[in-house]
Each structure stands twice: as C-alpha cells, then as structure tokens.
Structure 1
Amino acid sequence: MAAAGGPGGAPWVFGSTPVWQDEFDGEGAPDPERWSHDIGGHGWGNNELQYYTDQLANAFVSDGLLTIVARRQRAGKLRYTSARLVSRGKGDFRYGRIEFRARLPVARGSWPALWMLPTDNRYGDWPRSGEIDVMEHVGHDRGVVHQTVHTQAYNHTKRTQRAAQKRIDDLDAKFHRYRVDWTPDYIHGYIDDERVFEFANEGTGPDAWPFDQRFHLLMNLAVGGDWGGAQGVDKDAFPVWMEVDYVRVYPLLEH
C-alpha cells in the first residue's frame, strides 16, 4: 500500500497487514480487550439528547457485525439511549491508515460518527490537541458524508474547520469504506478508495498541526445535538442503528 506525498516526493508507504483490527467475529458484547464504553448523558459538548450506556441493547456483536443502536428509551431525564465505543488505552496510534466499513442510519436527528481523538492531550483540551473525523453523517442532510479535522487554528467554533463532503445515496442500504491516511505531512480522507479530503501539515506548529501525537478511535451514534438536531428529531423513526463490518489500522512504514 502506498500514498504519494512524502518528503522529497517519495511516497509514504503503509503496511499491508493491520497492526490492530476488529473483525467483529464474536457474539455478544464488544471485545473488552479493544473497546471501552463512554457512559453518560451530559450532552457531550454538543447538546446531544442521548444517554450512552454499556448495555447490549445499545451495542452488540453478532453475525460478523458490530451494531450500535440508538433507542427511544428513557434514561433519567433523557429520552434516548445509545452507545459510544472508544479504543483509548487499548488501541492508540501515531500515524497510519485507518479504515472502517460501515452501513449508516439516515433518520432525521441521527448522527453517526467514526472518528479519532488525542489520547494524551499534549497540547491542551479540545481543539488544541486535535480531532480527526473519518466519517460523520447527519440525518437531516441525507446522503452527505463529511470528513473533517479540527485544530486550534481550524475548527467549527471559528468557522475555519477543514472539511470535505461526498454524497452517497445508498449509505443506509450498502456498506461503504471510510478511511484516513495519516502521515507526518498530511491527512487524506477516502470513501471507497476515492480521495475526498486533504489536509496538509503547514509546518507552523501545533495550533495548525497537533497530529504528531497518539490518537485513539471512537464509534458512536448520537441523537440530536447542535448539528445532528438542527432540523429536529423524527422520534417515530427510532430505533435506528449503525453497523460496522470491521475496523483496521495499517502501519506507516519507513520510506
């Protein structure tokens, strides 16, 4: 595997064998050796409406798939439950090719995401230490998939975030592959091997490029929120679910 753009024009090369992966071959709860659950219902920085649980009803593995389910179900004062899985402390990476194969929900108010956050927050709290969004989709903009990075210099609170979009009309009917190639020089985003997103290291320091530190993976299905709920929530569409066929991380090799 190779991607052009290394120093001096040499290509960055990725290994062909994953250094970390989950094929979701078991049955029952997600593999605790690979995933932990974030739990709670405090809005998650976006005024989201769900309570994240560690219950099988919200995240389970069966028939080779991980399924994350958002349900119309009371949890304290909240009316929805869902799940957010994180690899922090169990799968932390600095550079590499990260790929998910997934099928997404499209109900208004649903907000599935496959993404990455810094493990150590070396440069400070969000957005100083960065965020990499491999895939986001909001149901009120059906079929439009977003790939984005957030940094201190480039983030949505300043309306300077770096992002790209691709329309996929059958994302709820078929599985698609969502990927980033992350090197010291750039982050490139791909959907089904088509390059959609490009973000270059400007060489100006961590305000623009905090991506020289360890990051971990997240998979979650939010309900509502500032973006996901911008046009309300179709409560009658729930439960909704995201299915993930695999997660694979390939190493960045010397070149």
Structure 2
Amino acid sequence: MKRGLLIIAITIGIVLFSYTIFNKNLPNDNNLAGTTTDSRDSKFNTLVWADEFEGEGMIDSNKWFHQTQLPPGGNWWGGLIQHYTDRETNTYLKDGYLHLVAKKEEYEDQGKIKQYTAARLNSKFAFTYGKVEVKAKLPTGTGTWPAIWMLNKNINEDGAYWDNKGFGTVNWPNCGEIDILEHWGKNQDYVSSAVHNGSSYGDIVKNLGGQNIKNASTEFHIYTLEWTKEKMIFSIDGVEHFQYNPSTKNIDTWPYDSDYYLLFNIAIEPDIDPEFTESSMIVDYIRVFK
C-alpha cells in the first residue's frame, strides 16, 4: 500500500512539474502586443447588434438604409463614376450571405447617366466604443474600391440616413471617419485601415496601416475594429496592422467620442478595367460587441 501511494505521489509530482515548465515556455501576451489580437482578451463581450444575413432577397430595411443621393455636382467624391442604387440586383441576400454587387451597365438616375452601378448601405444602428467583427470576401478587378467603414452620425451629408433624421451638423472630415477596411483592386490582396479627422484626411491622410493577406477575394476573412476611449486597434484574422492612439486628443485628432454608424459600399474608380463586368463583396455577418 505504501509503495502504491509513493508511486502515485511521484506521478503527480512529475505532472505538476511538467505543467509548470510548459507554462513558463508559453508566449507572454505582453510580448505579443502589436502583433495579434484575441477575442478572449477583449473587454467587449456582449453582443449588442448584428446581422447574420439570413433569408433571401432584399436586405432587412429595419437595419439598413440604401444611400443613393448624389452629392452636389452629380458625382460621388473623388471622381467616382458609379451610381449607388437600392435595387435588388445590386444588394441581395442569398444562402446566408449579403451580396453587394458592382456592375457594368448603363443606368440613369437623378438626371445623370452612368456606366456602372453598385450599392452603399448605412446602418440604422449607431454606437460609441465597442468591437466590430465582419466576415467578408472582397470584390476583384482594377478600379474596384470596396470599403467597410464608419461615420459619425452627425455628418452633414445630404442623403445619408442620419442626416435625413436631422443629426447632420458637422462637415467631413471634422465629423470623423473610421475605415475598418479598404481594398483597391489595383493592389489585390492588400487591405488597409485608416482614420480621417481634422488633422489627417483625404489624400493627405497619415493615420493608416495595412497588411497583405491571401485570397482576399476568394476566401472569407474576419476584419475587426476595437474602439475604446483611448485608442483603436485594427486587425485581420486576429493579426493587428494598425493602432490609432494620438498622444493629444482634441477636436482635430479625436472626434471619436460619440455615436458612429456602419457603412458597406463598393466604389468604382475612373481607371476601372475596361473588361470589368461584375464583382461582389460577400458578407457572412457583422457583429457589434460592447
């Protein structure tokens, strides 16, 4: 009996010793800062809004608004050449996915004829601070410019959902913009994130970062933003590529302390491949955690 107990005690000791050595050799999370993110470590764990894109046909109008009104001058900013439409051919649900479709087709709207159509969605949900996760495949083709991003609901932009509701009081870029992802077809598989504000915007934006990923247009990837009152962290499949944390937070650098809404869109640039006919951004889900 004593010999048996001794063997058990020795065995337990070996197991405990091995476990201690193994844990000492595990990577220290503090040493991984700036390289990976892990949802288990996130302070945002309560799901507050989501769309899983179930069903068939039109999108859920309780959650989404089609923004179609052209800006003054008849073109979308940056010389973009598409019409955004609210047609099912440009935005639809199928097999549990949202399809945003950019198409080469002549289309007349608001007195303007354009040769391309696409979609631009505004969420009817807005929030301050949280984590956004989007699982998506991106369109392909030189001249395509898909984005998943956020604007302050106070943006003064005629035709936007929240401006229509009377919230539009601040002009861009001072309202603030958060680009969770952008992808240019001319630079296939490079995905970037950025923030625009009074100190960094448009062609002179300096607050940005990105990474090359494999098969951005043929495989789903998870794009994540974590937004706190101190900073924003952007990642793809858990790998961080950009962090925004200005040392001085003021009206120019940090308008990110009030409600923002979500946008999906595909823009068409003037250098679109003449052989382009159609490509889609396909979204499996979008989830917001607080």
2:192 aligns with: 146
Cα deviation digits, residues 188-230 of structure 1 (max 9, x gap): 1010111111000434311010000100000001111xxxx4x
1:25-57 Cα offsets, whole Å, 9 max, x none, are: 111111001000001443321211110010000
Letter in 2 for 1:13: K
Deviation at 1:164, TM superposition (A): 0.4
How far apart, CA to CA, are the structure 2 residues paired with 1:58 and 1:152? 33
TM, length-normalised to structure 1: 0.87
| 2:124 is the counterpart of 1:84 | no
For residues 246 and 261 of structure 2, the distance between their equivalents in structure 1, rounded to whole angstroms, comes to 20
Give the whole-Å Cα distance in 1 for the aligned partners of 2:146 and 2:105: 18
TM score, norm. by length of structure 2: 0.77
Aligned equivalent of 1:115: 149
CA drift at 1:123: 7.5
Specify which structure has the higher proportion of helix.
Answer: 2
Partner of 1:250: 289
Q: Does residue 1:171 correspond to 2:201, yes or no?
A: no
1:200 partner amino acid: N
Shift of 1:142: 1.0
The counterpart of 1:30, out of the listed 59, 63, 75, is 59
| Alpha carbons 1:72, 1:235 under 8 Å: kept | no
Kindly state the Cα deviation for residue 154 of structure 1 after the two structures are TM-superposed: 1.4
1:31 and 1:48, CA in 2 relative to 1: closer, same or farther beyond 3 A? same
Task: Determine the structure 1 residue equivalent to 2:26.
Answer: none
Of 59, 74, 77, which aligns to 2:91? 59
Distance 2:274 2:54 in 1: 32
Write out the 4+ residue segments of structure 1 that deviate beyond 3 Å after TM superposition: none
Deviations 1:135-192 (A, max 9, x none): 10011111110100001001234x2430001111311110001111000000110101
Distance in 2, Cα, partners of 1:160 & 1:214: 22
**Does the 8 Å CA contact 2:104/2:276 hold for their aligned counterparts?**
no
Secondary structure of 2:131 counterpart: strand
Q: Contact (CA 8 Å) 1:12, 1:183: kept in 2 or not?
A: no
Shift, 1:105, TM fit: 1.3
Q: SS of 1:172's equivalent?
A: coil
Is residue 184–residue 201 contact of structure 1 (8 Å, CA) maintained in 2? no
> Contact (CA 8 Å) 2:82, 2:268: kept in 1 or not?
yes
Question: Counterpart in 2 of 1:8?
Answer: none
**Percentage identity across paired residues of the two chains:** 35
- Unmatched 5+ stretches in structure 2: 1-29, 35-40, 156-167
Paired positions, count? 234
Larger Rg: 2
Q: Give the secondary-structure state (helix, strand or coil) at the position aligned to 2:43.
A: strand
State the alpha-carbon separation in 2 of the partners of residues 78 and 149 from structure 1. Answer: 30
- Secondary structure of the residue aligned to 2:55 is coil
Partners of 1:107 and 1:160 in 2: how far apart? 24
Structure 2 CA distance, aligned partners of 1:204 and 1:85?
30
The structure with the largest strand share of the pair is 1
